[in-house]
Structure 1
Amino acid sequence: MIKNAPVFRGVFYFYTMASYIQEVLKELISSNQNISETIFILPSKRAGSFLLKELSTLSDKSIFAPKIYSIEEFTETVSGLHGIDNTTSLFEFYTVYKKLTPNEEQEDFETFITWAQSLIHDFNEIDRYLIDYKNFFDYLADIQDINHWYVKKEKTKLIKNYLAFWHKLPEYYKALANALLANNSGYQGLIYRAASEKIEAYSKTQTRQHVFIGFNALNASEQKIVQYLMEQNLAEIYWDLDEVFLKDRHHDASLFINQYLKNWPIYQQKTPKTGVKEYAKPKEIALTGIPKNIGQAKYLGELLASLDEETLQETAVVLGEEDLLLPILNSLPPNVKDLNITMGFPLKNAPIASLFDKLFQIHQNSAEKFYYKDVISIINHPSLQEFLGVSSSKFIDKIQTENIVNLSETEITAEFSSDEKELIAACFKDWSNNSEIALQSFQQIINFIKTHLKEEKDVLGLEFLYHFHVLFNKLRNLYESYPYLQTIKSLYQFYKEIMSTESLDFQGRPFKGLQLMGMLESRALDFKNIIICSVNEGVLPSGKSGNSFIPYDLKQTYKLPTYKEKDAVYTYHFYRLLQRAENVHLLYNTESSGLNSGEKSRFLTQLEIEKQPAHKLTHTMVSPLVPAIKTQLREVKKTPEIMAQIKALAGYGFSPSALTSYIRNPLDFYRQYILGVRDKEEVEETVAYNTLGTVIHDSLENFYKPLENKFISEEDIKNFKSRINKEVEAQFQKTYGSGPVNRGKNLLIYEVAKRYLTNFLNLELDRLKTDEIKILSIEEKLKQEIEIRELDFPVAIRGKVDRVENTNGITRIIDYKTGKVLQSEVEIVAWEELTSDYKKYGKSFQILAYTSMMEGQKNLELPVEAGIISFKNLKNGFLKFGKKDKPRASSKETAINKETLNAFHLELKKLIIEICNPEIPFREKEI
């Protein structure tokens, strides 16, 4: 729901609006021109379709349809050349480049295309504007020479090569043009230039009248063609621009047309076809600021929901940004039953596109093994899940259980059935940096998926698959025709190049229902109701952008289009859409930071400043209606089933870890120990801290276990030190599985483990100089029954103590910690705080719990000492538990006696009673 969302304001008039195409046709019919013998040229094929539709409504008798061309089709007809796409142009250009460049100076194909695309774009501009290429490139080379002028007489080799490149441009241009013309083909600019050169010959073969409709920014070639045909009385051009803009010579909307009216000689003899008077008529124009693109899509859905079917029939939604297409399609309300989408669905947004993209990426760098995340992303891809579901899940479990970081092709394929092996092999076999193998693999994947998809169920999936089949066939044809796509990297670059332009065309009724289109598709079309999205600077108009080698001043000199002219093109399209519209909604993104952000377009400011008297402008800011969400700490009441689980856990024995987990957050205790929910096992790429702790604990257990009930000697410790390397290696292999420990961070952690053990054993040697140490037990499992009269079921605590020793007659209970522990963390002041603050007293609670269990199970002779050895704080040695009377007191009681344990038992019982009380729910703690 959008807050403050206005609907179309004003009245919707339901008489049929006269479009500009309709007005032109009426004029031609009234002048008794033979429409069937007329040739119409329009900016796009879509405009041609609308012309035929309008003609069918105007004609009261059957006639033959006239010939209708888009401007690109017309220039191809005049020139006799067929157009080639940008990809083919690049291949042809590289062929020319190799012929003209000595072998030792040639760049590989991947490097070549980084600059060749911009150069072809410049060639295209030079041809479209009929510029003398030789003089132009000489001028450009001289500019570069001046830019790289410096005091030294001799130029460096780098500068010489750089300047030589600029001097070769005329040669490149001429050779490419000749090569293409020899095959009767050309890029767009070359076709335009050829058409302008052949227009005289073409006109001699024609007697039919040519009518140009809906044009604005004509390049020099188009101007020459139109003017020549007009001079021969073979053509007329109709300018669709309102007098409001024509009279304002400073308005960008009239920039081009005013130039033509002033400069074309033909208009010295005849009156131009202008005279549009629509813009000043009454219009409802709503300017609406909305945060984010998704906000625009949702708001648009609410606008459309308020319209009836008849109004929708005369409504067009124009997208400033094509990325809005999917959000808008997902936001359309139920009343939009008929929809015609002019723009296609980008193939790069198809679900299977990410699978092919990932395969390209993992095969670009040839390696013996594949990274586990890459493997999982492919076998778990939605496009393959239907066929590999069970097998892929089992394989992923194995990867995580065995901690496999890198996998070979053999290891991967071995986990799948014979039916699935073909697909898996195509994905993971060695492509050897060979484009042919890659293309074969992609087609194998497509064929496998195709045979497993059901035609009636997966219509859209099959349609996407077919388009990728065509795309890879196109790449194969390029690979076979030109010997340049030899590496996976070069193939991937061209795959992305083709993908950026490929789209899946929507099927619909072109003249029925809501029209959804881009700005350029709206050329020569008129609608009563207009909604334009993303009317922001950088979108409408597009701003200063362009990939060209030609500097700005040179473009100005030769009258090539700069960003000013490109902005004027957008200005014309924007205002022309508004000319005949009666209800207009202009939406813009109000976000000033982040992706897809920016200020509102200057067009909106111009509308406000240049407001026509009959226009009604409203400016609204809307935002999503976000309800206030109160953050409440969760709680879980103890049901009979939960109480049964708690009693079972109490009988089995609460561990110190479980009890401190409850102290930290009762909800965590509930999840882990009542529900049994554990964190999902993941592949450990870098050795985790708990893994390092396990390695240290298990190594020390293996060293000291044989010494139970024995005194330690220096020879024992020296023996342990000699076994460190072998022991650590064995423990890592047992704990870390197949994870690599011989490189990167893991190697550092591996060395840290050895250093920890070495430092600890050195500490033991220092102690033996003054202390007599007897090992009483290592990693001993303990369990103690706790008598709690308030509970009618047995309760116990259990655990495993790392080490119990006797040092100079004093029993010590020791807990190892691989992290850093300070002395203050094993000291308490008030006993009631022991179960209230996990961070401060969690470690004290644990070591007291171990002491209590030892005393209960082994009948220890009290007093004893208990504490922690921190491997990150070994310089402080054994950190003893201590009881202070005051927080800042310097003295403390470190001996644990019966009184200490009784005080601990009192707090322990309170904690267990709380856990077992059915009236006290598990309440989440605010962390």
Structure 2
Amino acid sequence: MSFLETVASDLFRQFGKSIADCAIVFPNKRPAIYFRQYLGKQLDLPVWSPDIFTIHEFIQESTTALPADRLLCSFLLYESYREVLEKDGVQVVSYERFYPLGEILLNDFTELESNIVAIKDLYANLADLAAIDQGLDYLTEEQLTYLQNFWKNFSIQKLSQQKERFLQLWKNLPAVFALFREKLVQRGLITTGMIYRNLVTGTYERTDFPGRWKKLVFVGFNALNRAELQVFKKWQDEEKALFYFDVDIHYLEDELQEAGRFLRRNLDLFKNQLPTENNIRRSDRPIRLIAAEGNAAQVRMLPALLKEIPNLPEEPEQTAVLLADENQLLPVLHALPDGLQEVNITMGYGLLQSPLYSLIQTIVQLQESLQQNKGRSVYYKPLLQLVQHPYLFQLPEARELAATIQQKSLVSIPALTWANLQDNRLRKAMELIAHPLDLVSLVREIIEMQTALPDLDIPNGLDAQLLLAAQLQLNRLEDLLGNFQQELSSSFVGDILLQVMRAQSVPLEGEPLKGLQIMGLLESRALDFKHIILLNVNEGILPKKAAAPTFIPDSVRRAYGLSVLENQDAIFAYVFYRLLQRAEQVTCLYNSTVDEKGLAEQSRFLTQLEYETNIPLIRKSVRLEVIPRAKPPIVIEKDESVMKTMRKYASDKMMLSPSAINTYLECRLRFYFQQVQAIREPEELEEEISPRVLGNLLHRAIEFMYRALEEKKQNKRVEKADFEWLRSQVDHYLLEALGHELAKDRTHKIEYTGTLRVVEEVVRTYLREILKQDETWAPFELLEQELKISHPLLLTVEGEKWTIRLGGYIDRVDYKNGVFRIIDYKTGGDKKEFRSVEAMFLRDRADRNKAALQTLLYAELLRRKIQELAVTPPQRPLREDLGERSWMTAHRGEINMQAGLYDVRSMRKEGTEFDWRFEESGSKSKLEVGNIRDLVPELMTKLQETVEEIFNRNQPFDQTVRREKCEYCPYQKICGR
């Protein structure tokens, strides 16, 4: 028989039909529903039901005052603080700064009132230790020691300003709380703590309380505050009250067992109507302890565990899934098997977990950005979140605006962009509020618009409940803020608004006494189930690590008998052990994998079961093995369709670039996606500057600077005297480069955020390093930047002669002392060393030097182009892709080429020791003109072989064997790697 069933039977035995004259009081709501059912089973004929309350509902019956709203209490407490401290000549802080402290003080006030603490004594200025001996003689020696230990920290001669301010507030808090209480009384309001103090002092307004009931019956209580202890004792002495405590000998007799801490005291004061049971020590029913690797593994175990429960379909209400961590509610709901007909969830569905909360949060962030930019523009993130929200994304104009932001990489979005929106919700959200308090009205109006939509546009009935709950709270918040006289900022109003919304939930419970029961641990108080599955039984979760924040130090709390962390542990210990008393089957799961919180240890309660009871423990370990389906390798055969597509390289329209050849050597399949199918890499809005964009910024800035110098001098010669001017132009052309690279839509001005300013400074540093290096190289002729170059390569493809154009863009070509120098700018970690020409073409080598292959190929392509033009000067302007390159046709004699990297990271690190030349690691020598000439035959042979392989029908496009290359591949999702 369950505890509540036993209570119902005993009460009916004692009172019969007169039970209607009793008030039955429980610590929480849930037991009352079960109690009514059990009491009904005792009756043969209809009788009047007794009044049934939670403890908070019961004590509220003692007063005609209304419960004080939490936010209103915060306002009134601040007004009290300000009035008292200003009267004392102390400078006060604004409400926004006071608010976090005020929340803690409100909790402390309720606790002090509930425990009948003399507030004036507790907050007395005890900096002078002699004051401890005056007026506090009722404290025990141990309590006095606690206070002395705390205040000794303040007895130094020179107090810090922080301590002085603390003491000023500390000594004024009794007056603050007294004025706060007075303000509440004037408004006909009351707090729970005030009710408790009034009950003890006998100053409550309802004269028929508790006289209108013949008996007060308190059922299932454990931890009692001091006010409850005093009034319960008084009512018992008056033979007014009966007590039903659920107790087991195991934790009652063991003084060290924390689960019995409060009950040992309670049973000394109150007579228990039920005998103490001995279920835990006698139990021979095994308890399963399952160590699961991660929270997901615990949740995934649920269907199998539920399937093992006998008679689950016939009596699902006898099974409870208890959540030590209530954040696991949604994963648990998603994991439940489809066969369950009914599920009862007592915890409620929080607005925080809903799309509605994300909408409200987005509107708040949007308004904050609008305020910062005075309505002229808005930061892209909240606007993008708004138009992509589930409530709005079905609108064509929302999708269109989202596409515009992403395609144009807009970071700061001007008002013109949203000026013509048609949807009322979107228009209202983008409306610049005139006053911070208007934010609440704006959010309320948008939610009213959403609520007014046809049912088809509201995702589900649960959302409709949340919309209604949010409206009610926003109306209340609007009234409260409207009556508050203090000036508040928009950001603070937004914070308050979101805090109020986070606290809201709607009930999910179905038929309370039917179906599988899912609840939080504290909701299980006084309830019994045959089958229990308890999740997240980890130390730090059960019991929790942290105590509620308080302004009263631990030593002072102990001195005045207030709650400390051990009390919280004792409460959870009792709840845990009480569940075991009558359950037939218990399974406890805990996370055995260390996560970011370091929670991987089983709860101490499980360890206690092992060493302090004879209950058999069956241990099991499970892991959530994600075994991916074996995916067949992707192989694209070069059929007629593919070969037809590749024929585009045999025309003048397409070039095969050195970087494309590098892609092929990295992964044939990536080459297929990128070059053959021309699948564009997915564009994402780059708020954080990517390495690719950083490199482009550097290229553009250096190009713009040297182009300006050429226009200024009307020649290509760069001399040492030019560098003073070049350095003076760095900032100007860097800004021009930023505009060129980041503002895809030139009508939109770039918003220089903190991140962008950091990038700007990095590129500025790189530019100065390049100029420093060039100054040591000057004088030289800077012949070309971003030079488009191509050269034919003859192939035989399936017996047919194809001419492939090899080419691309060379970053820079300069000329000095009869040598052409090909330079590639690099901002990454590219190296100048390469093992050999052959190694540059070995796709499976981790040290394959892509930059060397690309730059050396460009050098040879340019050499061949100059040679071709020198031998047969054109009789007409050069083809458009080469442009008018007079220096090419004018060159005579031997063509000497050098190639290297301006890798700016090394340049800055090595300073004057920097060397831009490539180095063949085998010879340990820098590549000079002669060395490069010697490498060319092997380089072009290997190139020819690679290109022929690309167009070889018998060589399919397949995936690389080196999976590390897939990590940053833009085609990952297509490939499945």
Give the TM-score normalised by the residue count of structure 1.
0.86
Partner residue, 1:314? 318
Partner residue, 1:784? 792
Higher mean Cα deviation, 240-249 or 43-52?
Answer: 240-249
Written as runs of structure 1 = structure 2, the 5 A alignment for 1:347-746 is 347-364=351-368, 366-368=371-373, 369-387=377-395, 390-408=396-414, 410-414=415-419, 416-417=420-421, 419-420=422-423, 422-431=424-433, 434-452=435-453, 454-455=455-456, 458-459=459-460, 460-484=462-486, 486-543=488-545, 545-595=547-597, 597-612=599-614, 615-627=615-627, 635-651=635-651, 652-683=654-685, 686=689, 688-697=694-703, 700=706, 712=717, 730=736, 732-737=738-743, 738-739=749-750, 744-746=757-759
CA contact (8 A) 1:799 1:850 kept: no
Higher mean Cα deviation, 134-143 or 164-173?
Answer: 134-143
3-state secondary structure, aligned to 1:620 = strand
CA deviations on 1:799-851 (whole Å, 9 max, x unpaired) are 3564667766x5737355355899955x8855685575443533223322333
CA contact (8 A) 2:249 2:277 kept: yes
Partner residue, 1:110? 96
* Residue 138 of structure 1, aligned match among 107, 112, 124: 124
Structure 2 distance, partners of 1:477, 1:285, is 53
Shift of 1:309: 0.9
Higher mean Cα deviation, 560-569 or 516-525?
Answer: 560-569
3-state secondary structure, aligned to 2:556 = helix
- In structure 1, give the amino acid aligned to 2:602: K
Alpha-carbon spacing, 1:682–1:570, altered in 2? closer, same or farther (3 Å):
closer
3-state secondary structure, aligned to 1:866 = strand
- In structure 2, give the amino acid aligned to 1:367: Q
Partner residue, 1:126? 112
3-state secondary structure, aligned to 2:437 = helix
Alpha-carbon spacing, 1:620–1:830, altered in 2? closer, same or farther (3 Å):
closer
Q: Does 1:915 align with 2:950?
A: yes
Q: Does 1:30 align with 2:17?
A: no
* Residue 253 of structure 1, aligned match among 255, 259, 282: 259
Partner residue, 2:884? none
Structure 2 distance, partners of 1:882, 1:248, is 79
Shift of 1:377: 2.7
Alpha-carbon spacing, 1:858–1:467, altered in 2? closer, same or farther (3 Å):
farther
- In structure 2, give the amino acid aligned to 1:745: V
- In structure 2, give the amino acid aligned to 1:620: K
Alpha-carbon spacing, 1:550–1:707, altered in 2? closer, same or farther (3 Å):
closer
Partner residue, 1:3? none
CA contact (8 A) 2:593 2:600 kept: yes
Partner residue, 1:327? 331
Structure 2 distance, partners of 1:165, 1:539, is 35
CA deviations on 1:102-156 (whole Å, 9 max, x unpaired) are 176222111212212222222212221222222233276765654311235xx66
CA contact (8 A) 1:42 1:70 kept: yes
CA deviations on 1:732-752 (whole Å, 9 max, x unpaired) are 544443435797235435645
Question: Where in structure 1 are there 5+ consecutive unaligned residues?
Answer: 1-17, 768-772
Alpha-carbon spacing, 1:82–1:664, altered in 2? closer, same or farther (3 Å):
same
Partner residue, 1:10? none
Partner residue, 1:842? 854
Structure 1 distance, partners of 2:727, 2:320, is 82
3-state secondary structure, aligned to 2:61 = helix
Shift of 1:721: 5.2
Structure 1 distance, partners of 2:36, 2:609, is 34
Structure 2 distance, partners of 1:117, 1:374, is 29
Shift of 1:411: 3.1
3-state secondary structure, aligned to 2:111 = helix
Structure 2 distance, partners of 1:345, 1:274, is 39
CA deviations on 1:459-510 (whole Å, 9 max, x unpaired) are 2333332222222222112112323472223323323432343212114010
- In structure 1, give the amino acid aligned to 2:521: M
Alpha-carbon spacing, 1:289–1:310, altered in 2? closer, same or farther (3 Å):
same
Shift of 1:203: 5.9
* Residue 347 of structure 2, aligned match among 334, 343, 346: 343
3-state secondary structure, aligned to 1:334 = coil
Structure 2 distance, partners of 1:333, 1:789, is 59
Structure 2 distance, partners of 1:327, 1:340, is 16
Written as runs of structure 1 = structure 2, the 5 A alignment for 1:740-889 is 744-748=757-761, 751-752=764-765, 755=768, 758-759=771-772, 762=775, 765-767=778-780, 779-788=787-796, 791-800=799-808, 802=810, 810=818, 812=820, 814-817=822-825, 819=827, 825=833, 830=837, 837-839=848-850, 840-856=852-868, 859=871, 863-868=894-899, 870-871=901-902, 872=904, 887-888=923-924
Higher mean Cα deviation, 585-594 or 875-884?
Answer: 875-884
Structure 2 distance, partners of 1:880, 1:235, is 95
Shift of 1:189: 1.4
Partner residue, 1:188? 192
Structure 2 distance, partners of 1:778, 1:38, is 93
3-state secondary structure, aligned to 1:567 = helix
Structure 1 distance, partners of 2:25, 2:724, is 95
- In structure 2, give the amino acid aligned to 1:744: R
Question: Where in structure 2 are there 5+ consecutive unaligned residues?
Answer: 132-146, 744-748, 873-891, 966-977
3-state secondary structure, aligned to 2:447 = helix
Alpha-carbon spacing, 1:227–1:841, altered in 2? closer, same or farther (3 Å):
same
Question: Identical aligned pairs, as a percentage?
Answer: 23
Higher mean Cα deviation, 715-724 or 519-528?
Answer: 715-724
CA contact (8 A) 2:723 2:775 kept: no
- In structure 2, give the amino acid aligned to 1:55: L
3-state secondary structure, aligned to 1:310 = coil
Shift of 1:719: 12
* Residue 57 of structure 1, aligned match among 19, 23, 41: 41
3-state secondary structure, aligned to 1:788 = strand
Structure 1 distance, partners of 2:398, 2:576, is 52
3-state secondary structure, aligned to 2:62 = helix
Structure 1 distance, partners of 2:837, 2:210, is 109
Shift of 1:59: 1.0
CA contact (8 A) 1:76 1:195 kept: no
CA contact (8 A) 1:774 1:805 kept: yes
Higher mean Cα deviation, 155-164 or 712-721?
Answer: 712-721
Shift of 1:247: 3.6
Higher mean Cα deviation, 813-822 or 485-494?
Answer: 813-822
3-state secondary structure, aligned to 1:435 = coil
CA contact (8 A) 1:371 1:405 kept: yes
CA contact (8 A) 1:868 1:878 kept: no
RMSD: 3.8
CA contact (8 A) 1:724 1:758 kept: no
Structure 2 distance, partners of 1:719, 1:148, is 62
